[in-house]
Amino acid sequence: MSKSSLPPLTWLRAFEATARHLSFTRAASELNLTQSAVSQHVRSLEAFLARDLFVRKARALELTEDGANYLPSLREAFDLISSSTQAFTGTDRGRNLILQCNMAFSVFWLASRLQRLYERCPWLVLNIVTPIWDPERHAANAAAEIRFGRLEDMSDAAVRLSRESFFPVCAPCYRDAASEFETATLFDCAGTTGTWASWFKTKGKPFSRTGEINLTSTYVIAITAALNGAGISMAHDTLAFDLLEKGDLIRPYGHSAPMTESYFLLSPSAHAQTPATRAFLNWMQEEVSLPSDLSGSRS
């Protein structure tokens, strides 16, 4: 077996037990090994890492800073392996679902619909992971993902949830300021094609403006700024639908443009779905058939 980034579990277990007891002898007793074995495993691990994990004293050990840093992740990893291994004997699987989606979707679309999910699946334990500035990172234990992107970047299994249009939005109190475009404060969102420049392009006009545009890394920032009356933000159907219906946002200009990106549902293949995943996917499919603009565009 080639040397890799994963030390043997045997060494890691010896380290974790020793860290708990701060004693090779007591750890060995717990693991039903000899003190010598535990000592050697920890020594091997330290050599592998080229770091000392314990300070050896006459009759006691102290964790080094490196040792203390290492410990929590290892404990969680052991818990994960242990609990999923025990899942073969236990029956309490299937309730937990980890869903990954971007924070804007979570805040502006999902949050206001959770009641319907709850009414339908009161047993569901939902964990939402919302990476903000690194949305490409797929949480390895996320069972389902709602991803915003272009069709060609998606796998064949991805289910398309929407066709988006994009357009500027602002708070009602900003309507007058929006009519003075040159002086209005503009917000854009990075990492999407639905920018001010491309919006003007679809109007057959070049986009030239002397004032700067505030470029944000997530639509949460841009749209919240608009909601707060700080300016005009680019937005698209799914995120803006509820806010427009409520009158919290208005569209100061009539034009809207088809967007390259849309929302997709990425789910495990059918034979790998837990009850929680299936329930969520079923609920999601019903939700997109409601008028919420995860079902069609308004262009």
Partner DNA sequence: GCTAGTGCATTAGAAAAACTAATGCAAAGG
Partner DNA sequence: CCTTTGCATTAGTTTTTCTAATGCACTAGC
The correct pick among 5, 6, 50, 59 for binding DNA (CB under 7 A) is 59
Tokens of 149: 């992107």
Q: Which two tokens stand for residue 75?
A: 């404990």
Q: Which stretch binds a second copy (CB under 8 A): 87-95, 233-241, 253-261, 288-296?
A: 87-95
The answer to whether the Cα torsion of 129, 132, 135, 138 is positive or negative is: negative
Neighbour-count burial for 178-207, b at 16+ CB within 10 Å, e otherwise? beeeeebbbbbbeebebbbebbbeeeeeee
Nearer to a second copy, 275 or 297 (CB): 275
Query: Which residues, in sequence order, are CB contacts of 237 under 8 Å at separation 6+?
Result: 162, 164, 165, 166, 293, 297, 298
In whole angstroms, what is the distance from residue 79 CA to residue 64 CA? 23
Q: Within 10 Å of residue 222's Cβ, how many Cβ atoms?
A: 27
At closest approach, how far in Å is the CB of 78 from DNA?
A: 16
* Binding string, residues 38-57; x marks residues near DNA by CB under 7 A: -xxxxxx-----------xx
Contacting range for DNA; rule: CB under 7 A; set: 20-28, 99-107, 184-192, 251-259: 20-28
Strand residues in 2-117 grouped as ranges (E):
54-56, 61-63, 96-101
Choose among a second copy, DNA, none what residue 34 binds, the Cβ cut-off being 5 to 8 Å by kind: DNA
Asked if residue 115 binds a second copy (CB under 8 A), the reply is yes
Told to check if 286 binds a second copy by CB under 8 A, we report no
Q: Give the residue, chosen from 20, 56, 120, 137, that forms a contact with a second copy under the rule CB under 8 A.
A: 137
**274 binds DNA per the rule CB under 7 A:** no
Task: Out of 33, 189, 234, 265, name the contact with a second copy by CB under 8 A.
Answer: 33
Neighbouring-strand partners of residue 263: 148
Count of residues that bind DNA according to CB under 7 A = 27
Q: Which member of 61, 63, 178, 284 binds DNA (CB under 7 A)?
A: 61
The answer to whether residue 74 forms part of the interface with a second copy (CB under 8 A) is yes
Find the length of the chain: 299
- Selected from 39, 162, 185, 218, the binder of a second copy by CB under 8 A is 218
| Binder among 34, 85, 112, 282 for DNA (CB under 7 A) | 34
Those residues whose C-beta lies under 8 Å from the C-beta of residue 225, and which sit 6 or more positions away, are 187, 214, 216, 231, 233
Q: Using CB distances below 5 to 8 A depending on partner kind, what does residue 274 bind out of a second copy, DNA, none? A: a second copy
Work out whether 25 is an interface residue with DNA (CB under 7 A): yes
73 backbone dihedrals φ, ψ, rounded to 5°:
-65, -40
Chain residues that interact with DNA, rule: CB under 7 A = 1, 8, 10-11, 14, 23-25, 28, 32-37, 39-44, 56-61
